Amino acid sequence: MTDQGLGAPAERITIRHVALDAGVSVAAVSKVMRNAYGVSDQLRQKVEASIEKLNYRPSMAARGMRGRTYTIGILVIELTNPFLPGVIESVIGQLAENGYKALVGVGHSVDQIEASMIEAMIDNRMDGVIVIAPRISGKFLETFAKQIPIVAVAHHEQQSTTYDTVNSDDRAGAKRAVQMLLERGYGDVAMIGYDFRSAEATEVALQRELGYMDAMKAAGLERQARILRLPQPGEDRSEAITKLLKAADRPRAMFVWSDLDAIPLLSICQDLGIRVPEDLAVIGYDNSPPAAIPLIGLSSVDQNPVEMGRIAADLLLSRMTGRRKTQHILIEPDVIARKTI
C-alpha cells in the first residue's frame, strides 16, 4: 500500500496559520483567544473568522505541557500607602511556605497599565494573581478571572462568582470609629472623604462612608452628618485640608477615611495652631505604622493586614488546586485609641 493510496496526512493548523490568514500577529491571535482586555471588536471578528475558516483547534497537549510555574503575580495600584507592605509581606511569606515565589507590579490606577500587567502575568504562565486595588472595576477583574485564578484585596465585590475577595469590614470599622467619638462626647462629627470617579460599592472609601452614616443615624444625628470631600487620591490635597480646617463651621471631631489624609491633617493642625484633641479630635483608618509613632499618636482603625495577606494567599492556593466555589472573606477590624481623641 502506498502513501498515495492512504492520502497524504493533512498539515496541522497552528496559531501561526491563523495569524497569517487574518493578517495579524501571533500575539494578537493569542489575545483574542484569551479574551484579553482591550481587544477591539474588529480584531476579534477578523481572528474568529480565520479560526472558523481554518477549523483551528488549540493543542490541548501543548497546553498540558505548560504545568505550574510556581510563580504568583501581585498587582497593586501604588506603593506609597504604608498599609500595603504588611499585606504584601504576608502574602509573600505565606506563598513561600508553599513553594511559590511572587512578583509585584504597580498599576498606578490606570486601566491600560493594569491590563497589560495582568496580560504579562498570564503570558509568563504565572499560576495566579492577587490584586490589591481598591478602585479597580469589577468588570475589569471579571475579564481576567476567566483566564487565571484571581483574589482581590480591598475590593468589595461579594456578588462575584469568578474571583475571590478578602477585605476588612470597612463599613463596620468606620461605624465603630465614629461611635467611639460619639461615646467620648464629640457630638459634631464630620467625615473626610474624597471625590469619587464613580460611586461603586466596591470602593473601600464608599464602604467607610456608609459606616459613618450608619453610626450617625444610630445616634439620631443623621441631619448633622457631613462628608467633606478632598480631591482624588494622588492629587495635592494640602490646600483643601487647610481650607477645611480654617472653615468657620469646622466640626468638633473628624473621622478621616484613611491615615493617608489623617496624618497630613495633623501636621497642618500643628501649623495652624489647632490643638488635637482639645480643639479637634481626629481618628483615621488603616492603623498604618506612622500612626503608632508616639509623636503622632493617631487613633485609627486596624485592618489586620497580616491576616488579610495570609487569607488572600490561602484563597489563591486553594483555587489553583481545584476549588471552584467562590469565597468572600470579611475580617473584623479593631479601633485603636491614641492621643488624638
Q: In CATH, which of 1.10.10.10, 3.50.50.60, 3.40.50.2300, 3.30.70.141 is domain 170-302?
A: 3.40.50.2300
Q: Measured between alpha carbons, how far is residue 330 from residues 142, 169, 312 in Å?
A: 20, 5, 11
- Between β-strands 71-76 and 128-132, what pairing exists: parallel, antiparallel or unpaired? parallel
Q: Would you give per-residue pLDDT tens digits along the chain (341 residues)? A: 444 444 444 567 888 899 999 999 988 887 787 666 678 889 989 998 998 888 886 654 444 445 678 899 999 887 778 888 999 999 999 999 999 999 998 876 656 777 788 888 888 889 999 998 767 777 778 888 888 999 999 888 888 899 999 999 999 999 999 999 999 999 899 999 998 766 677 788 999 999 999 999 999 999 999 999 999 877 788 999 999 999 999 999 999 999 999 999 999 999 999 999 999 999 999 999 999 999 999 999 999 999 999 999 999 999 998 888 999 999 999 999 999 99
C-alpha cell at 127: 499560576
> Do 69-168+305-331 and 170-302 have matching folds?
yes
CATH hierarchy code of domain 69-168+305-331 = 3.40.50.2300
Task: Using DSSP, state whether 258 is helix, strand or coil.
Answer: coil
Of 235, 173, 170, the closest CA to residue 205 belongs to 170
With beta carbons less than 8 A apart as the criterion, state whether 72 and 316 touch. Answer: yes
Distance CA(313)–CA(53), nearest Å, equals 43
Please, how many CA atoms are within 13 Å of residue 327, restricted to the half-sphere of its CB? 17
Amino acid at 121: M
